[in-house]
Amino acid sequence: MDDTPETQSDATTQELRELREKAERFDRFTRSLPAMLYDYIINHDGISHCLYCSAYSLELLGIPPEDFLADMDRFWNLIHPDDLTRFRELDLKTNREEVTFSMDTRVVLASGKEKWIRVSSKKNPPHGDQPAIWSGYMIDISGTKQLELMLQEQATHDALTGLGNRHYFQRHFRDELLRKDRYQRDSAVLLLDLDHFKKVNDRYGHDAGDFVLMRVSQLVKAQLREVDVPARWGGEEFCILLPETTLDDALAAAERIRAGLARVPLDYQGEAIEVTASIGVTTLNADDRRIEPVIKRADAALYRAKRDGRNRVAHG
């Protein structure tokens, strides 16, 4: 076998050429991917040092690869403040347990643009005494998150009025039950029904009826606090959760809503449509554990308001 220096030099040159070709192929490959790929190590002090970062970092995060290589904290500074604590906790946990890190988080770029990204990394098997290398990727999932939020909105909100639906209301009601038990504070529920709504549809048409429902929703919301939870219960019926509200305050809120609806007719294509509502009011009792008894009491109060002449508030 020929192992002269010249032969060894030729072999080394060939190996270097092949390594460069592989590196160039890998670089072309990573540039074509809509993902940021990176390698990093964690030293004995727990500080991360980036070894490799693909060019997509510039498009994804607005950070050139060389800046990411120089300082990985550039990424941490982009994480949305509301997500940062959870991100740090998960990062520490996965590093400690040496398991795969995976989390969806929001980042705020230097331009002010907000993105949803998916971050995932995994520890590679160590080689000898060298620090283990972690390999990861980041991808933009903003489109997916927007679709998820849209589907969630459709599942929990009424398409016509934009108010929450029954499912949305029931979820908030369960949360309020827990808060009431914990802090021993009063809460109330209003059940509102539009008077003679069928006559609106019969006289002006269903488009006019939809208009009335939308305007009533807006007028009701205008009388409520940020913490209050209005929902379309069904048809022309609305349910409103009033956290931390006594019976007297709930009755006052119901009266403001009733008076506000009755005060001025709604203008629909030049037609003045008079709208009034009957409202049943109830408070949450100490032994309330489900929504059904609460709605039953509010519905009974609503029935009394209807029976006594409509356009009024009753409680039970």
Residue 24 a catalytic site member: no
Instruction: Report whether 194 contacts 216 (CB < 8 A).
Output: yes
Q: Which of 21, 89, 176, 236 is catalytic?
A: 236
Instruction: State pLDDT tens for residues 145-187.
Output: 988 888 887 888 999 999 999 999 999 999 998 888 888 889 9
> What is the C-alpha separation between 284 and 225, in angstroms, rounded?
19
Instruction: State pLDDT tens for residues 48-97.
Output: 888 889 999 999 999 999 999 899 989 999 999 999 999 999 998 988 88
Mean pLDDT of the chain: 90
Q: How many CA atoms lie within 13 A of 134 on its CB side?
A: 22
Give the residue from 173, 187, 193, 169 showing the smallest Cα distance to 302: 193
Q: Give domain 157-315's CATH architecture.
A: 2-Layer Sandwich (3.30)
The residues of the chain that CATH labels 3.30.70.270 are 157-315
Q: What is the pLDDT of residue 46?
A: 72
Of 14-28, 147-161, 200-214, the range with the lowest mean pLDDT is 14-28
Q: What is the pLDDT of residue 126?
A: 76
Specify the DSSP element, H or E, that contains 204: helix 197-204
The residues of the chain that CATH labels 3.30.450.20 are 33-147
Instruction: State pLDDT tens for residues 30-54.
Output: 777 899 999 988 877 777 888 889 9
Q: Give domain 33-147's CATH architecture.
A: 2-Layer Sandwich (3.30)
Q: What is the pLDDT of residue 139?
A: 96
- Write down the H helix ranges in 118-165: 142-156
pTM of the model: 0.62
